[in-house]
Copies of this chain bind each other. A is one copy, B any other.
Amino acid sequence: MVAHCAALLVLTDRSVYLMFVIDFQTHPDRYRHWRLGVDGRVATLDMDVDPDGGLHDGYKLKLNSYDLGVDIELADAVQRLRFEHPEVGAVVLGSMKERVFCAGANITMLAGAPHPLKVNFCKFTNETRNGIEEATAESGQRYLAAINGTAAGGGYELALATDHIMLIDDGSASVALPEVPLLAVLPGTGGLTRLVDKRFVRRDRADVFCTIEEGIKGSRAVEWKLIDELVPGSVFDERVADRANEFADASPRPADAVGVPLTPLDRNFSDNGVVYSSVTVTINRSARTAEIVVKGPTGPAPSDTEAAGSAGADWWALRAARELDDAILHLRVNELEIGTWIIRTEGDMEAVLDHDRFLHEHDDNWFVHEVMLYWRRILKRVDVTSRTIISLIDPGSCFGGVLAELALASDRTYMFLGTTEDDDRTAVLALSESSRGVLPMSNGLARIGTRFWGDDEGLRAAEETIGTSLDADAAMQAGLVTEIYDDIDWDDELRIMFEERTSFSPDCLTAMEANLRFPGPETLETKIFGRLTAWQNWVFQRPSASGETGALRRYGTGLRPEYDKRRV
């Protein structure tokens, strides 16, 4: 398969060449699959997938089926609605295809995709759906699904991510999760979990529903809690509009605020990384590591929220967030063999903390609040990223405020003890209010809450450091870093650690990290990533689904799949 959607011009020291990568940046003007409309307080986001617009060759995106490219546009739209449209209080997710809402993930794409791409695709689509739920819960942009026909598999799962599901009552429109009977894989975008844990569908009914290829329609869909409203075809559009207006009226979004345009990112790809204005990614291919350096702000925080709004996408807090997010997504999907991410920061700690304070002081401002929510989503993305994440806190770094959360999101954190011959700066770590719980992990806990799970005293001690700058000894004492090394040991110890990490089985690290990162309570989100995804990964590998004669490969051939009959 050849990616043809994202040919990036790359400048190296020797030449200019085209690099084919999956690009997560897009704009409504360039959407091929969605129509975004805003009418006062209500936005409509209509799916109209271009069958020929697949990210790769070899499949046609019929019946509003989707691939990663379609979902990248959806994620972009959801994101833009939050930043560019403060006035919008309700979003109607609909379809422009007749009698079809969405047929879910494209099967031919899934059948042909290599395992890592399938898994990455599921992860991103899950994050996008979680983002839709977060917009509803935290941003006052309440999503509703207007299902005008068939909503099958990922199509119904998309609807499940909204807060209110309306189904047209035309005798044929239905919701379905036909994966199990048809494809021998799971509904992998949260469907199983959302059925029983969000919509509280009884487990035996969920079992029945998940085995009915054609799905469920009409009043039974309401009775089983699969949808919220069944609406006659004659009044469907009208009733959807009424409901959207009702939701918008109840929304706390500021009707008269001015949106912040998400301008194109300033970035340059090269063979060994990407350079953004505040983030630099440097790949070491032989070591299979990527160093991600986040640079702190060069000036003080905005003087007030108006200034922040005027700075908009140029404001460091948003700019660095967008760049970091893009870097993470790029590395995750385009650099599969780069197994370890080294996170560093560079800059003036006081400036970082100044911007961080601003974020907290003005959290009642819609825009500032959105920036903070964005950091929350990015940090959650780090948490579920299948790469070893190591933070290095060295002299000149600025792990403070929101950036300190990057250190806490890491599998391990190493801190430089003392000074070097040439540099009399010491490394510091500074937790702020950002570590208290406004940036929760998907288990609902602050990262220090997770770190000190079961250790109340440790947690209290860590909380007491909030507002203080800690040197290596103090950070180690507070249990906030894994290990500290001085100038003599730093390079050697880290080199050995990185070499060792790279020598381990990449799969096994993925599985281990997924287990160790989330102690404590579980939530809908952790169930989706920790339980559902793990089972789906397993099923994706099994011959009954992905083997030559498996259901995914046999789908559409007229041949029946062959299954390994043993229960495992």
Q: Measuring CB to CB, which residues of chain A are less than 8 angstroms from any residue of chain B?
A: 115-116, 119-120, 179-181, 184-186, 192-193, 195-197, 199-200, 202-208, 210-211, 288, 336-339, 386-387, 410-413, 450-455, 458, 479, 482, 500-501, 503-517, 519-522, 526-527, 530-532, 534-539, 541-542, 544-545, 551, 561, 563-568
- Which of B115, B206, B504, B520 contacts A184 (CB under 8 A)? B504
B568 A206 Cβ-Cβ under 8 A: no
- Cα distance A504–B120 when bound, in Å? 26
Contacts of A532 in B (CB 8 A): 515
Offer 25 A-B interface pairs, CB within 8 angstroms, sorted by A. A115-B568, A116-B566, A180-B512, A186-B511, A186-B515, A192-B512, A196-B519, A197-B454, A200-B519, A202-B455, A202-B479, A203-B411, A203-B450, A203-B519, A207-B411, A207-B512, A336-B565, A339-B567, A506-B564, A506-B566, A508-B545, A510-B567, A515-B535, A531-B531, A537-B538
Q: How far is the CB of A412 from chain B (nearest CB, A)?
A: 5
- Cα distance A519–B512 when bound, in Å? 24
A507 B202 Cβ-Cβ under 8 A: no
- Given known pairs A454-B200, A531-B534, A535-B511, the reply for A180 and B568 (CB within 8 Å) is no
A412 B505 Cβ-Cβ under 8 A: no
Contacts of A501 in B (CB 8 A): 211
Contacts of A453 in B (CB 8 A): 196-197, 200
Question: What would 6 more interface pairs be, CB under 8 Å, given A197-B453, A202-B451, A508-B544?
Answer: A184-B507, A208-B412, A339-B565, A505-B542, A534-B538, A538-B538
Chief secondary structure at chain A's binding surface: helix
Contacts of A205 in B (CB 8 A): 482
Contacts of A517 in B (CB 8 A): 203
- Cα distance A120–B566 when bound, in Å? 12
Contacts of A544 in B (CB 8 A): 505-508
A482 B208 Cβ-Cβ under 8 A: yes
- Cα distance A343–B536 when bound, in Å? 28
A200 B506 Cβ-Cβ under 8 A: no
Q: Which B-chain residue is minimally distant from A335 (CB atoms)?
A: B567
- Cα distance A561–B507 when bound, in Å? 13
- Cα distance A183–B506 when bound, in Å? 12
B507 A539 Cβ-Cβ under 8 A: yes
Q: How far is the CB of A305 from chain B (nearest CB, A)?
A: 37
- Cα distance A211–B387 when bound, in Å? 15
B537 A515 Cβ-Cβ under 8 A: no
- Which of B200, B336, B450 contacts A567 (CB under 8 A)? B336
Q: Which of A181, A197, A205, A512 has the most CB of B within 10 A?
A: A512
Q: Which B-chain residue is minimally distant from A114 (CB atoms)?
A: B566
B515 A386 Cβ-Cβ under 8 A: no
- Cα distance A451–B531 when bound, in Å? 19
A508 B185 Cβ-Cβ under 8 A: yes
Q: How far is the CB of A153 from chain B (nearest CB, A)?
A: 13
7 residue pairs, one from A and one from B, having the closest CB atoms: A200-B454, A534-B534, A184-B505, A522-B522, A196-B519, A336-B566, A511-B535
- Cα distance A134–B511 when bound, in Å? 27
A537 B204 Cβ-Cβ under 8 A: no
Contacts of A503 in B (CB 8 A): 181
Q: How far is the CB of A557 from chain B (nearest CB, A)?
A: 16
- Cα distance A200–B207 when bound, in Å? 35
Q: Which B-chain residue is minimally distant from A482 (CB atoms)?
A: B204
B454 A186 Cβ-Cβ under 8 A: no
- Cα distance A125–B537 when bound, in Å? 23
A568 B507 Cβ-Cβ under 8 A: yes
Contacts of A539 in B (CB 8 A): 507-508, 511
- Cα distance A337–B566 when bound, in Å? 4
Contacts of A522 in B (CB 8 A): 521-522, 526-527
- Which of B184, B508, B567 contacts A337 (CB under 8 A)? B567
Q: Which B-chain residue is minimally distant from A532 (CB atoms)?
A: B515
